[in-house]
Structure 1
Amino acid sequence: MYAYDQFDRQLVSQRVAQFRDQTQRYLEGKISDEQFLPLRLQNGLYIQRLAPMLRIAVPYGTLNAEQLRKLASITRKYDKGYAHISTRQNVQLNWPKLEEVPDILEELAEVEMHAVQTSGNCIRNVTADQFSGVAADEVEDARAYCEIIRQWSTFHPEFAFLPRKFKIAVCGSASDRAAVMVHDIGLQIVKDAAGNTAFKVIVGGGLGRTPVIGSVINEALEPKHLLTYLEAILRVYNQLGRRDNKFKARIKILVRAMGAEAFKADVEKEWAHIKDGALSLTDEEISRAQSFFQPPAYESLPQQDMQALALENADFARWLQHNTHAHKVAGYRIVTLALKTTGVAPGDVTAEQLEVIADLGERYGFGEIRSTHQQNIVLPDVRQQDLLALWKELVELEVASPVVGTLNDIICCPGGDFCSLANAKSIPIAEAIQRRFEDLDYVYDLGEIELNISGCMNACGHHHIGNIGILGVDKKGQEFYQISLGGSQGLDASIGKILGPSFAQDEVPNVIEKVLETFVSLRQPEERFLDTFRRVGMDPFKERAYA
C-alpha cells in the first residue's frame, strides 16, 4: 500500500497544527460559527444531532494493521469505543469532543492517516473496488490510479470550492464493485481494441434528491491522459455548475441540463488546451504509483477443492460460500468480515474487534485490511488452508455472519439516531428486517438481494440503487418509510422505482415480506430478484404490498 513520503508528512502535520489553532480561536470566541464552518468541514468535522462527527479518510478503502490499532485506541480514548464504516469506505467517529479533534488528527497523522477532504465542496476520498489487486476477474489493479488521483486532487486550489461535493470511483474488475455508474466521475478500467489499458469515463451519476445514472463520455481514455481529462471535466463543472441552489449544484444536474454530448464537447474543447501539458502521465509516473501496490510474497500453494473443504462443518460451509471470494492467486481466498450482526448498527465495529482484526490481518495475511462500501471489512490474502482456523476466530469475534450478498447484508446510514439531516431512523429498520428474516435457509433460497436503507433524501445509504430500497420520510412530524424496487449498482445500474405510498415503521418488515413472497411466486429457476423485477415489472409487487 502507499506509504507517505516527506512531503505527505509535512503537509498533514501542517494541516493538524493549523486546525488546532483554528479550533482554539473558535472556542475562545475569536472565530464565528459561520467562519468556522468551512474550516471544520475541510477537516472532516460535522455537527450532528447529538455530538460532532469526525470522518476519517481511508483512500480507496486500504488500511494496514497499525492503522487499525490506532483507530481502536482513538475510539477508546476520544469516543465510545467503536467506529463506523461508511458507504464511502471511510471511518466515522460519532462522539468526539470538539476540543479534542485536533488531538485525534495528530494521532492519526502518526500512522499516515487524516481527515482531509472527507467533507466540503471539494473532491472527496477516492473509492475503489475493495478487491482491487486480488480479484479473480480483475482487468488491472485500480489502486495505483486512485493514488495518482488522490495526489492530484488533494489541496488542488482550483477545486477546493466547487459548486458542490465531488466523488470519484475507480473499478478495475469485470464486475463493478465500486458503483462507478452513480458517481460524479466513474472510471472503469478496460482494454482497448489493441489490448492496452484504458478508462471508460462515466460522468454525471449520483444519488440524493435527484438520482441519475452517469453517461459515458469517453469509451477508452489512454492512461497518460487520465489527469488532464479529469482536470478538463472539473474545469467545465467549476465554470458552469450552479451555485445559486445547492440542490441543483451537483455535476449530474449540469450534465442532465446540457445533455451528455454537449457536456462532452465542452470537456473536449477544454481538454485540447491541456491534453499534452504538465499533467500528462508518463510511463515512469504510472510505474512509480504501481510500485506501491506490488503483490506480496505469495507462497506457491495448491488450489484446494472448496467443496471438500466445506465438509468440515455445515456452518463453516455457509460462511465459505457467502463470505469468501475467488482470488487471482492459486491457494488463496478473499475473506469478507460481515459487520452485520443483528442488533448492531450495520458498519459498526468495536475497538476490541478492530484490534483483533489487525492481528488476524497479520497472522492470516500480509497485514493489509480493506473497508468496503457495503460497510464490511475484507482480509484480501488468506491461504485456503487457513480458512477454517480463521473462521473459528471470526465466530468468536462476532464478525462471521454468513450473509454477504444476501438480504441481511444491509447497507444502512446512521439515520435519525445520529444525523441531523435525517427524517427518520434507519438502524431500527435494519434490525427489524434482520430479525424477521433470521432463517438463513430462507434467505439463501432468495439468492442475491441488495437491501439499502437511507434516513433521508441525501441517500448516504444508497437506497436508490438497492434491489430493495428503503427511504425514511417525514409525514406530518411522524417517521414513515418509502419502498423502492429494482435498483442496481452494477454496470447495468438502475434507479429503483417507488412502490407507492409510504409505510409506518412497524409495517416495514411486513411489506418486505410481501415483496419477497411475490418474488418467490414469480421467479424462474435461478433467477435473481432484480431479474424477476425487470421481467414482470412493478404491478404484481404493488398489488400484493397494498392488498
Structure 2
Amino acid sequence: MYQYQPVDQLLVDQRVAQFRDQTRRFLNGQLSEDDFRTLRLQNGLYIQRHAPMLRIAVPYGMLASRQLRTLAYIARKWDRGYGHFSTRQNMQFNWPKLEDVPDILAELAKVQMHSIQTSGNDIRNTTTDQFAGVAPDEIVNPLVWCELIRQWSTFHPEFAFLPRKFKIAVSGAVTDRAAVGVHDIGLQAVEQDGEIGFRVWAGGGLGRTPLVGQLINAYVPWQHLLTYLQAILRVYNLHGRRDNKFKARIKILVKDLTPHVFAEEVEREWQHLKDGPETVTAERIQAIADRFTTTPHAADPGPDTSPQHAGNDPAFSRWLRRNTHPHKVQGYAAVTLSLKRTGVPPGDITADQMDAVADLADRYSFGEMRVSHEQNLVFTDVARGQLYALWKELDKLGLATPNIGFLTNIIACPGGDFCALANAVSIPVAEAIQRRFDDLDYLHEIGELDLNISGCINSCGHHHVGHIGILGVDKAGEEWYQVTLGGRQSGAAKPLPDIESMRGAGAAIGRVIGPSFARGEVADVVATLVETYIDLRDSDAERFIDVVERVGIDPFKTRVYAERQQAKAALVEAAHV
C-alpha cells in the first residue's frame, strides 16, 4: 500500500480546509451556483437526481483495510449505509448532504484518501489491472507507474482545465486487463532489446462517439514516459475543441487530425520536452516503489488443500474455478469477491460488508485489496491453503457468487435511479437479467460472456465494449433499450509486424442489432441472444464473442426480431380471443 509523503498529506489537508470554506460561503449566499459548481466538481461532488453524489478516489484501485473501514463509517454516518464501486475503481456515495461533505473529506484525509480530480475537466484517477503486482504475466508492476502518473498529474497547473475530462489506463502485463484501448491514453508495458518501455495509444473512449484508441508510439522508453504524456496533453490542450463539449474529447481530435498527423504533432512537441526536468530517473522510480508497504510472502505458505475440499464440496469447486486467479508466487492465489449477487445493484456494498471485508483482508490478504473496473473487489495475496476457509466466510456475507466472467457479472452504472443525466434505469434491468439467468449450471453451459449496461449515451457502464451491450435511450419520454453485439474491452499485447496492425489494443466497439426494446423485453432479448449463440457454436469451447466475430450479428438480429414479432402476434391473437 502506498504511504503518503508529508507533502501528500499537507496537500490533502489543505484541500479539505479550502473546500470547507468554499462550502460555507456558498451556503451563506456568498458564492453563486455557477461559481461553486467548478469548486465542487474539483472535489468530486456532483448534483444527482435526488441528492449530491460524492466520488472518492481509490488510486489505481488499491485499498487498505483501514481505508475500507473509514468508507463504512462514512456510509453509516453520512449516507444510507452503503456505497457503490464505479468502473474507474472509485467509491461513490449517493446520499450525502452538502453541508456534511467537508466533514466527510476530513475523515478521508485521516486515512490518506480524498476526492481530488474525480470529476471536472482534468486528469482523472489512473486505472490499471486489478491483479497488478501479483499477475504471473507482468512485465512491470503497474502500481509504481500509476503512482508516478498520480504525482505528476495531481494539481498540475497546465492540465487543470482541459477541454474535457481525461482518463489514463496502464497495463503492466502481457495480457491487457486494463482496457487500454478505450481510454484517452492507454499505456502497455513492453520489453524491447532487454529494456522496458511503453506502447502508447491515444484517442480511445466510449460515450456519444465510441472510438478505439490508435497506437501513436510503439515504444517509449520508460525514462521518457512523463515527457511523452506531457506532449500529448499539450497537443490536446492546444487543439482540443472548447466550443462544443460533445466534440471536446481527445478521441475527436485524433480522428479529425488522423492518427498519423496527431502522432507527428506529439513528436514535434516532445522534442521540446524530451530529456527535460520531467525525465524519469531510476532513483525516482525506486523512491516510489519504496513507499509501497509490502508483507513478505511466506516461504512455505502451507499445503494447498483446495483440491481436496473441491472434491468434497461442489459449491466450493465452482467458486474455486471462477473466482480464484493465478499468482506469481507459488502457493498463493488472487481471489475476486463478487459484488454481483442476484438482487443487489452491481457494484454496491453495505457498510457491514465493508467492515467484514476489511477484517477478512487483514486475516487473509495482508490487509489490502483492489477494486476492479468490473466493480468487484479482489484479495491479491491469499495462501491457497486458506481458500476454503475464506470461501466459507465470503459465502456468509453474500460475496462468493461464482460468476466471474459469466453473464450475471454485469457491469452497470447507477442509471436513472440516481443519475440526472440518465435516460433510463440500469439497476432494475440488470436485476431482471440476473434473475433470468440465476442458474449456475446454465451459466457454466453458456461460458464466458460480458454484459454491460449504461443508462445513457455517456457509457458509464461501458456498454460499447460488452459482448452484449445495453443502452438506455429516451423515446418520447419513455424508457427504451438499444442492444449491441460484439464489443470487446481488450486483447493481448503480442509482437506485431507494424504499427497499423497494432491499432486498437485488441478492443472493439459493439454494433447495434436494430430498433430498441421496451424495458420488459430486455431479459427476453438477452435470453434469445444466448440461445442463438448456443445453437451456432461449434463446441462448448467457442465463446459468445468468438461466435459473433465468426458469423456476424445478422443471425442474432434475425432471430431476436422474429421472436419479437411472434410475441406481438400472440398478444394480438389473445386480445381478440
* Residue aligning to 1:334: 334
Q: Which residues of 2 match residues 205-224 of structure 1 at below 5 A?
A: 205-224=204-223
* Residue aligning to 1:535: 550
AA aligned to 1:527 is: E
The structure-2 alpha-carbon separation of the partners of 1:141 and 1:309, relative to structure 1 and needing over 3 Å to count, comes to farther
Secondary structure of 2:388 counterpart: helix
Secondary structure of 2:146 counterpart: helix
Question: Does residue 1:517 correspond to 2:516, yes or no?
Answer: no
Secondary structure of 1:546 counterpart: helix
Q: Which residues of 2 match residues 484-503 of structure 1 at below 5 A?
A: 484-491=484-491, 492-503=506-517
Q: Which moved more, 1:162-171 or 1:294-303?
A: 294-303
Following superposition, the deviation at residue 306 of structure 1 comes to 5.3
Following superposition, the deviation at residue 294 of structure 1 comes to 6.4
Following superposition, the deviation at residue 195 of structure 1 comes to 2.3
Q: Which residues of 2 match residues 425-444 of structure 1 at below 5 A?
A: 425-444=425-444
Secondary structure of 2:149 counterpart: helix
**Coordinate RMSD, CA, aligned:** 1.0
Measure, in 1, the Cα distance between the counterparts of 2:312 and 2:359. Answer: 25
Secondary structure of 1:311 counterpart: helix
Q: Which moved more, 1:163-172 or 1:436-445?
A: 436-445
* Residue aligning to 1:288: 287
Question: Does residue 1:461 correspond to 2:476, yes or no?
Answer: no
* Residue aligning to 2:88: 88
Per-residue deviation, residues 135-167 of structure 1 (Å, max 9, x unmatched): 122221100000000000000001000000000
Secondary structure of 1:405 counterpart: coil
AA aligned to 1:206 is: G
Measure, in 2, the Cα distance between the counterparts of 1:243 and 1:160. Answer: 14
Following superposition, the deviation at residue 422 of structure 1 comes to 0.1
Per-residue deviation, residues 89-116 of structure 1 (Å, max 9, x unmatched): 0000000000000000000000000000
| Native 8 Å contact 2:306 2:385 kept in 1 | no
Secondary structure of 1:169 counterpart: strand
AA aligned to 1:532 is: V
Per-residue deviation, residues 292-323 of structure 1 (Å, max 9, x unmatched): 34653101236737544421310000000000
* Residue aligning to 1:247: 246
Query: Structure 2: where are the runs of 5+ without partners?
Result: 492-505, 563-577
Question: Does residue 1:198 correspond to 2:197, yes or no?
Answer: yes
Measure, in 1, the Cα distance between the counterparts of 2:312 and 2:381. Answer: 21
AA aligned to 1:208 is: G
Q: Which residues of 2 match residues 243-392 of structure 1 at below 5 A?
A: 243-293=242-292, 295-301=294-300, 304=304, 307-392=307-392
| Native 8 Å contact 1:303 1:330 kept in 2 | no
AA aligned to 2:354 is: L
AA aligned to 2:367 is: G
Per-residue deviation, residues 480-503 of structure 1 (Å, max 9, x unmatched): 000000000013210000010000
| Native 8 Å contact 2:406 2:447 kept in 1 | yes
Question: Does residue 1:73 correspond to 2:73, yes or no?
Answer: yes
Measure, in 2, the Cα distance between the counterparts of 1:530 and 1:75. Answer: 38
Question: Does residue 1:506 correspond to 2:527, yes or no?
Answer: no
Measure, in 2, the Cα distance between the counterparts of 1:431 and 1:371. Answer: 22
AA aligned to 1:94 is: N
Query: Structure 1: where are the runs of 5+ without partners?
Result: none
| Native 8 Å contact 1:472 1:479 kept in 2 | yes
* Residue aligning to 2:395: 395
* Residue aligning to 2:574: none
Secondary structure of 2:443 counterpart: helix
In the alignment, which of 543, 557, 560 is matched to residue 545 of structure 1?
Answer: 560
Measure, in 1, the Cα distance between the counterparts of 2:441 and 2:376. Answer: 22
* Residue aligning to 2:161: 161
AA aligned to 1:501 is: P
Measure, in 1, the Cα distance between the counterparts of 2:514 and 2:307. Answer: 44
AA aligned to 2:295 is: P
Secondary structure of 2:333 counterpart: strand
Q: TM-score, normalization: structure 2? A: 0.94
Q: TM-score, normalization: structure 1? A: 0.99
The structure-2 alpha-carbon separation of the partners of 1:109 and 1:295, relative to structure 1 and needing over 3 Å to count, comes to closer
* Residue aligning to 1:49: 49
* Residue aligning to 1:481: 481
Secondary structure of 2:312 counterpart: coil
| Native 8 Å contact 1:86 1:373 kept in 2 | yes
Measure, in 2, the Cα distance between the counterparts of 1:20 and 1:144. Answer: 32
* Residue aligning to 1:140: 140
Measure, in 1, the Cα distance between the counterparts of 2:191 and 2:303. Answer: 28
Measure, in 2, the Cα distance between the counterparts of 1:293 and 1:468. Answer: 38
| Native 8 Å contact 1:143 1:293 kept in 2 | no
Q: Give the percent of matched residue pairs that are identical in Structure 1 and Structure 2.
A: 61
Q: Which residues of 2 match residues 183-194 of structure 1 at below 5 A?
A: 183-192=183-192, 194=193
